[in-house]
């Protein structure tokens, strides 16, 4: 549109001289900003006093002593003061000047497509890149912990995106479908000796059936109520996994799940495995790479189905349902079946992720399917931008990759001394980043919605 | 007031009770086939309640609402269907529907009654064109074989989609919205949103179009455009129109038939001329002789 056409100029030219220089606005806002910053610092001090300032420690004689951390308190207060001050001053500038200094990126469809292509290429070559960078032994961690794990989350988030992003049904218990998929595939494989390739669709079908089962009573609820009930159902699934120990193995879970095979050939190190038949040196790397590509293919399949569905009557009805349920009914759309279909489709994709997870870990246990997982997947969807496939993928990389990377913060010991344990601060940094992101982009990374259908070339003509 | 020869919709002793409140009391009226019928009355008379009963958003307490796709209806057919306990008969009269037994989405899909809302209900984040395509959901869903053929992109589905776009384009042209087809519906100005809602209702190819205060909030020029649009709908598609309207100039200009209700009861029923001179309407509802002034007075007092 016209706005988009004008934007590149503001990138190219330096900030044009506006009516008033930034200094005028800044000096006008100074007293207010100082006051606001002082207040924020005071609140921080109040919060830090009980939380940060004191620590009880046992000394050598097992006596409880009080250690004070006033240095930290001072640091936090200073950060709050400076941060608030800078923020208020920044907001005092008129929008145009802020735009000129730091243009806000708005992704056009073109740019989005480029990002998607580059991202896909990166994913396809990721195993080779990591082997080249970290060597055969070192790359396993990268491919498995980063690559495969992130891809599983992308897959889950894309599934949930259908339910939350498209149909607008807030599901806080998505992990239940993941759990149903994982457990059903594990049980089928262990008890009936079904192959992974059969378990994969069956897990999806079981999860979808579970979705229908809970969907029928639940979907008459809306918004918050739906969220609470889905949360409860997820909790039920986890409890069943814990307590039905004759079937699920209780807290120990089910271990020794057979790894997926390729046309009947194993990829794990062993005499009959495909790598050894091909005369390659035995290494767990092949299995890891195979799994990576397997999950990649599944994720792309889910993406294809989801994007395609969005452009079909069913997907449009889902979006219409999110927009106005009463209008939907006035147009002859059966809202109950439409909601159920969204719920079941999302559940199916969540279910498919289950066997992939089981294949990666070789074990399923209740601890993998706690509420935190649901919250994580939902956070990915919300941060990515509800309904945006690319945004969700980026958010998954940032969130999962980010938390994993925070494990690698060993070098910070050089800065803060050998006592510093970066693992302790992982979730803190993560939480802080999330808050920051929601302040900067309250509606997620990608907020632009592509129309599912357009009337010929009119739109592009007017853009030009 | 003489009975309508071939009514599309026969509302017979419709009653709607909300707890102790009798919103509609044994209301009987007919909507003529291919006619524009106006439902008027002071605020709180129960007009929108009647709409909600017809379109299935409320379950009426009593009465019968029979809609026949092809008339005239034989009394015994209607009596037979009523006695059978079924909701509709696809074979009698090209489709005979007892609306009080049907759910809202069934009424829209099967009996083909479309409606607009007093407070506009579009899908604001979706584009104008998408709004019109969603309205054709049932047909497209069938054509996509519940998404299977759609996922594979078969020829049949693509043809159906093209046809749906053509129908949408037709109504966009009629409502003057072609240029804004790919903009989010929520970005349209108020008057355009009203027209879009009518276009969306028309995309369901209804037999009966129910318009709830279509001229509310429109300026005189937009009002005149709307009048032309409603006339065109009646004349070109043969769709019967039932409308609630406060703007008496619109009502008197376009209606073939006017039904006046007050406190849930019908107080008069006839052609606009008859209504203008009806003693009941003047005495009980309008209070003064000149219809337009009277409405102004009623509205100001309400």
Tell me, what's the pLDDT at B52? 93
User: Which residues partner with B7 through β-bridges?
Assistant: B32
Q: Minimal Cα–Cα distance from A325 to chain B, Å?
A: 9
The size of the A-B interface in CB pairs under 8 A is 127
Specify the pairing of strand B96-98 against strand A363-364: unpaired
Q: Minimal Cα–Cα distance from A150 to chain B, Å?
A: 27
Peptide bond into B72 cis (omega under 30): yes
A150 and A66 in a single domain? The answer is: no
Closest listed residue to residue B272, CA positions, set B251, B297, B287, B286 = B251
Tell me, what's the pLDDT at A1? 38
B165 and B232 in a single domain? The answer is: no
DSSP state of B2: P
B105 and B1 in a single domain? The answer is: yes
User: Could you give the CA distance from residue B12 to residue B78 in angstroms, rounded to a whole number?
Assistant: 12
User: Could you give the CA distance from residue A346 to residue A157 in angstroms, rounded to a whole number?
Assistant: 9
Residue B302's pLDDT band, with cuts at 50, 70 and 90, is very low
* Domain extent at residue A382: 116-440
- Quote the tokens at residue A403: 């938390």
With a cut of 0.85, is the ipTM above it? yes
Look at the block and give the residue holding tokens 């250690």.
A67
B250 and B151 in a single domain? The answer is: no
Q: What is the mean pLDDT of chain B?
A: 87
Chain B residues close to A461, C-beta within 8 Å: none
Tell me, what's the pLDDT at A353? 94
A189 and A53 in a single domain? The answer is: no
CB atoms within 10 A of CB B65: 24
B264: left (phi over 0), alpha (psi -120 to 50) or beta: left
Q: Return the SS3 of B254.
A: helix
- Angle, helix A313-323 to helix A285-310, in steps of 10 degrees: 70
Q: What are the φ and ψ backbone dihedral angles of B7, each rounded to 5 degrees?
A: -75, 145
- A314 with B146: Cβ contact below 8 A: yes
Residue B48's pLDDT band, with cuts at 50, 70 and 90, is very high
- Quote the tokens at residue A312: 């079909």
Chain B residues close to A449, C-beta within 8 Å: 125, 184
- B124 with A323: Cβ contact below 8 A: yes
- Quote the tokens at residue A235: 């909790």
DSSP state of B240: E
A281 and A324 in a single domain? The answer is: yes
Q: Return the SS3 of B245.
A: coil
Please report whether residue A8 resides in a domain: no
Are A142 and A338 contacting, i.e. CB atoms less than 8 angstroms apart?
A: no
Give, for B258, the enclosing helix (H) or strand (E): strand B257-262
Q: What are the φ and ψ backbone dihedral angles of A45, each rounded to 5 degrees?
A: -60, -45
- Quote the tokens at residue B269: 């029923």
Number of domains into which chain B is organized? 2
> Could you tell me which residues come within 8 angstroms of residue B192 by beta carbon, excluding any fewer than 6 positions away?
B175, B176, B177, B180
Tell me, what's the pLDDT at A5? 42
- B204 with A332: Cβ contact below 8 A: yes
Last residue of a domain, one of A55, A72, A101: A101
B107 and B5 in a single domain? The answer is: yes
Tell me, what's the pLDDT at B295? 55
Among A309, A324, A452, beta carbon nearest to B147: A309
A55 and A184 in a single domain? The answer is: no
Looking at beta carbons, which pairs linking A38-43 to residues 24 or more positions away fall under 8 Å? A38/A81, A40/A80, A40/A81, A40/A83, A40/A84, A41/A77, A41/A78, A41/A80, A41/A81, A41/A84, A43/A80
Chain A residues close to B156, C-beta within 8 Å: none
Last residue of a domain, one of B183, B205, B227: B205
pLDDT score of B121 more than 80:
yes
Last residue of a domain, one of B189, B205, B221: B205
User: Could you give the CA distance from residue A347 to residue A180 in angstroms, rounded to a whole number?
Assistant: 9
- A319 with B137: Cβ contact below 8 A: no
pLDDT score of B34 more than 50:
yes
- B127 with A454: Cβ contact below 8 A: yes
B108 and B13 in a single domain? The answer is: yes
Please report whether residue A64 resides in a domain: yes
CB atoms within 10 A of CB A95: 9
Q: What percentage of residues in chain B have a pLDDT greater than 70?
A: 92
CB atoms within 10 A of CB B216: 16
B218 and B182 in a single domain? The answer is: no
Tell me, what's the pLDDT at A14? 46
- B123 with A319: Cβ contact below 8 A: yes
Q: Minimal Cα–Cα distance from B16 to chain A, Å?
A: 20
Query: Searching chain A, which residue's CA lies closest to the CA of residue B56?
Result: A330
User: Could you give the CA distance from residue A315 to residue B147 in angstroms, rounded to a whole number?
Assistant: 9
B179 and B225 in a single domain? The answer is: no
Q: Return the SS3 of B279.
A: helix
Residue B128's pLDDT band, with cuts at 50, 70 and 90, is very high
> Could you tell me which residues come within 8 angstroms of residue B215 by beta carbon, excluding any fewer than 6 positions away?
B222, B223, B226, B245, B246, B247, B250
Are B41 and B261 contacting, i.e. CB atoms less than 8 angstroms apart?
A: yes
User: Which residues partner with B15 through β-bridges?
Assistant: B62
The CATH number that applies at residue B151 is: 3.40.50.300
Q: Return the SS3 of B120.
A: coil
Chain A residues contacting B via beta carbons under 8 Å? 305, 308-309, 312-314, 316-317, 319-320, 323-324, 326-335, 449, 451-455, 458-459
Alpha carbon B285 to its chain centroid, in Å, reads: 24
Range B186-212 average pLDDT: 94
Look at the block and give the residue holding tokens 């008033």.
A20
- B127 with A451: Cβ contact below 8 A: yes
DSSP state of B247: -
Please report whether residue A110 resides in a domain: no
Burial of A90 (0-12, 13-18, 19+ CB in 10 A): middle
> Could you tell me which residues come within 8 angstroms of residue B243 by beta carbon, excluding any fewer than 6 positions away?
B36, B37, B38, B39, B210, B211, B212, B214, B230, B251, B255
Please report whether residue A205 resides in a domain: yes
Q: Spell out the per-residue pLDDT of chain A, length 464, in tens.
A: 344 444 444 444 444 445 667 777 778 888 888 999 999 999 999 998 888 888 888 888 888 888 888 888 899 899 999 999 988 888 888 877 777 776 666 667 778 888 888 888 988 888 888 888 877 777 888 888 888 999 999 999 999 999 999 998 999 999 999 999 999 999 999 889 888 899 999 999 999 999 999 888 887 777 788 889 899 999 999 999 999 988 888 888 888 888 887 777 777 777 677 777 777 777 778 888 889 999 999 999 999 999 889 989 999 999 999 999 999 999 999 999 999 999 999 999 999 999 999 988 888 999 999 998 898 899 899 888 888 888 899 889 988 888 888 777 667 677 776 777 766 777 777 788 778 877 877 777 777 788 888 886 544 433 33
Q: What percentage of residues in chain A have a pLDDT greater than 70?
A: 89
Q: Minimal Cα–Cα distance from A30 to chain B, Å?
A: 37
Give, for B128, the enclosing helix (H) or strand (E): helix B128-134
- B127 with A328: Cβ contact below 8 A: no
B9 and B100 in a single domain? The answer is: yes
Alpha carbon A151 to its chain centroid, in Å, reads: 10
Q: Return the SS3 of B140.
A: helix
Last residue of a domain, one of B174, B205, B236: B205
DSSP state of B4: P
The CATH number that applies at residue A153 is: 1.10.3470
A121 and A45 in a single domain? The answer is: no
> Could you tell me which residues come within 8 angstroms of residue B68 by beta carbon, excluding any fewer than 6 positions away?
B7, B8, B92, B93, B94, B95, B96, B97
User: Could you give the CA distance from residue A376 to residue A396 in angstroms, rounded to a whole number?
Assistant: 9
Chain B residues close to A305, C-beta within 8 Å: 151
A63 and A124 in a single domain? The answer is: no
B82 and B221 in a single domain? The answer is: yes
State the sign of the Cα–Cα–Cα–Cα dihedral B221, B225, B226, B231.
Answer: positive
Are A398 and A391 contacting, i.e. CB atoms less than 8 angstroms apart?
A: no
> Could you tell me which residues come within 8 angstroms of residue A268 by beta carbon, excluding any fewer than 6 positions away?
A259, A284, A287
A139 and A90 in a single domain? The answer is: no
DSSP state of B234: I
Q: What are the φ and ψ backbone dihedral angles of A68, each rounded to 5 degrees?
A: -105, 150
* Domain extent at residue B23: 1-112+207-302
State the sign of the Cα–Cα–Cα–Cα dihedral B76, B80, B86, B92.
Answer: negative
Chain A residues close to B140, C-beta within 8 Å: 312-313
Tell me, what's the pLDDT at A104? 61
Range B259-266 average pLDDT: 90
Alpha carbon A165 to its chain centroid, in Å, reads: 13
A248 and A326 in a single domain? The answer is: yes
- B161 with A330: Cβ contact below 8 A: no
- Quote the tokens at residue A323: 């927009």
Number of domains into which chain A is organized? 2
Please report whether residue A448 resides in a domain: no
Tell me, what's the pLDDT at B226? 92
Among B105, B129, B144, beta carbon nearest to A455: B129
Q: Mean pLDDT lowest for which of A104-118, B31-45, B150-164?
A: A104-118
Report the side by side order of strands in the sheet with B88-89. B21-32, B7-18, B62-68, B96-98, B88-89
Per-residue HEC secondary structure of chain A comes to: CHHHHHHHHHHHCCCCCCCCCHHHHHHHHHHHHHHHHHHHHHHHHHHHHHHCCEEEEECCCCCEEEEECHHHHHHHHHHHHHHHHHHHHHHHCCHHHHHHHCCCCCCCHHHHHHHHHHHHHHHHHHHHHHHHHHHHHHHHHHHHHHHHHHHHHHHHHHHHHHHHHHCCCCCCCCHHHHHHHHHHHHHHHHHHCCCHHHHHHHHHHHHHHHHHHHHHHHCCCCHHHHHHHHHHHHHHHHHHHHHCHHHHCHHHCEECCCCCCECCECCCCCCCCHHHHCCCCCCCHHHHHHHHHHHHHHHHHHHHHHHHHHCCHHHHHHHHHHHCHHHHHHCCCCHHHHHHHHHHHHHHHHHHHHHHHHHHHCEECHHHHCHHHHHHHHHHHHHHCCCCHHHHHHHHHHHHHHHHHHCCHHHHHHHHCCCCCHHHHHHHHHHHHHHHHHHHCCCCCCCCCCCCCCCCCHHHHHHC
- Quote the tokens at residue A448: 């632009």
């Amino acid at each position: 549109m016209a706005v988009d056409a004008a934007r590149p100029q503001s990138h190219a030219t330096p900030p044009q001289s506006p009516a008033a220089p930034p200094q005028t606005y800044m000096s006008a806002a100074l007293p207010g900003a100082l006051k606001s910053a002082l207040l924020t610092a005071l609140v921080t001090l109040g919060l830090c006093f009980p939380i940060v300032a004191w620590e009880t420690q046992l000394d050598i004689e097992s006596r409880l002593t009080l250690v004070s951390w006033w240095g930290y308190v001072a640091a936090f207060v200073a950060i709050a003061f400076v941060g608030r001050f800078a923020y208020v001053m920044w907001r005092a500038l008129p929008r145009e000047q802020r735009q000129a200094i730091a243009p806000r990126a708005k992704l056009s469809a073109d740019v989005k497509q480029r990002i998607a292509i580059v991202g896909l290429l990166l994913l396809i070559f990721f195993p080779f890149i990591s082997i080249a960078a970290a060597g055969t032994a070192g790359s396993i961690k990268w491919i498995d912990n980063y690559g495969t794990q992130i891809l599983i989350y992308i897959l889950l988030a894309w599934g949930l995106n259908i339910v939350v992003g498209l149909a607008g049904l807030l599901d806080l218990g998505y992990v239940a479908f993941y759990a149903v998929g994982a457990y059903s595939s594990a049980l089928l494989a262990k008890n009936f000796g079904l192959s992974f390739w059969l378990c994969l669709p069956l897990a999806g079908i079981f999860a979808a059936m579970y979705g229908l089962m809970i969907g029928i009573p639940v979907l008459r609820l809306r918004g918050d109520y739906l969220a609470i009930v889905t949360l409860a159902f997820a909790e039920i699934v986890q409890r069943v996994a814990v307590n039905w120990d004759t079937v699920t193995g209780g807290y120990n879970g089910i271990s020794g799940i057979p790894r997926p095979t390729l046309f009947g050939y194993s990829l794990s190190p062993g005499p009959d495995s495909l790598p050894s038949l091909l005369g390659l040196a035995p290494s767990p790397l092949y299995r890891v790479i195979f799994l990576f590509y397997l999950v990649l293919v599944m994720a792309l399949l889910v993406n294809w189905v989801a994007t395609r569905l969005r452009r079909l009557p069913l997907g449009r009805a889902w979006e219409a349902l999110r927009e106005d349920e009463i209008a939907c009914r006035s147009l002859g759309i059966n809202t109950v079946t439409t909601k159920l279909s969204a719920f079941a489709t999302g559940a199916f994709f969540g279910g498919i992720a289950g066997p992939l997870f089981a294949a990666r870990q070789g074990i399923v246990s209740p601890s993998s399917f706690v509420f935190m997982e649901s919250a994580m997947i939902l956070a990915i969807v919300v941060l990515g931008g509800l309904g945006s496939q690319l945004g969700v993928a980026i958010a998954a990389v940032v969130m999962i990759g980010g938390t994993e990377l925070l494990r690698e913060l060993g070098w910070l010991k050089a800065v803060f001394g050998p006592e510093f344990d970066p693992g302790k601060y992982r979730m803190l940094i993560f939480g802080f980043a999330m808050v920051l992101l929601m302040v900067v982009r309250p509606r997620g990374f990608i907020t632009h919605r592509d129309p599912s259908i357009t009337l010929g070339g009119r739109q592009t003509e007017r853009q030009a | 007031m003489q009975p309508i020869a071939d009514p599309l919709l026969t509302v017979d002793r419709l009653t709607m009770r909300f707890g102790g409140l009798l919103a509609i009391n044994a209301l009987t009226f007919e909507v003529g086939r291919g006619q524009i019928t106006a439902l008027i009355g002071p605020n709180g008379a129960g007009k929108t309640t009647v709409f909600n009963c017809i379109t299935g958003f409320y379950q009426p307490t009593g009465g019968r609402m029979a809609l026949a796709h092809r008339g005239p209806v034989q009394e015994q057919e209607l009596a037979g269907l009523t006695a059978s306990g079924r909701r509709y008969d696809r074979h009698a009269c090209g489709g005979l529907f007892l609306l009080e037994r049907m759910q809202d989405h069934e009424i829209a899909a099967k009996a083909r009654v479309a409606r607009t809302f007093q407070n506009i209900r579009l899908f604001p984040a979706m584009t104008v064109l998408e709004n019109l395509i969603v309205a054709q959901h049932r047909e497209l869903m069938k054509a996509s074989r519940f998404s299977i053929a759609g996922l594979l992109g078969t020829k049949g589905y693509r043809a159906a989609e093209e046809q749906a776009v053509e129908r949408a384009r037709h109504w966009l042209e009629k409502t003057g919205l072609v240029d804004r087809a790919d903009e989010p519906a929520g970005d349209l100005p108020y008057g355009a949103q009203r027209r879009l809602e009518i276009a969306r209702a028309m995309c369901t190819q209804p037999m009966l179009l129910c318009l709830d205060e279509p001229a509310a909030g429109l300026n005189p020029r937009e009002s005149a455009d709307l009048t032309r649009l409603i006339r065109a709908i009646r004349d070109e598609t043969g769709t019967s129109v039932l409308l609630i309207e406060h703007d008496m100039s619109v009502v008197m200009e376009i209606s073939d038939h006017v039904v006046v209700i007050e406190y849930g009861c019908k107080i008069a029923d006839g052609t606009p001329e008859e209504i203008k001179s009806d003693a009941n309407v003047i005495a009980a509802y309008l209070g003064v002789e000149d219809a337009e002034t009277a409405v102004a007075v009623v509205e100001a007092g309400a």
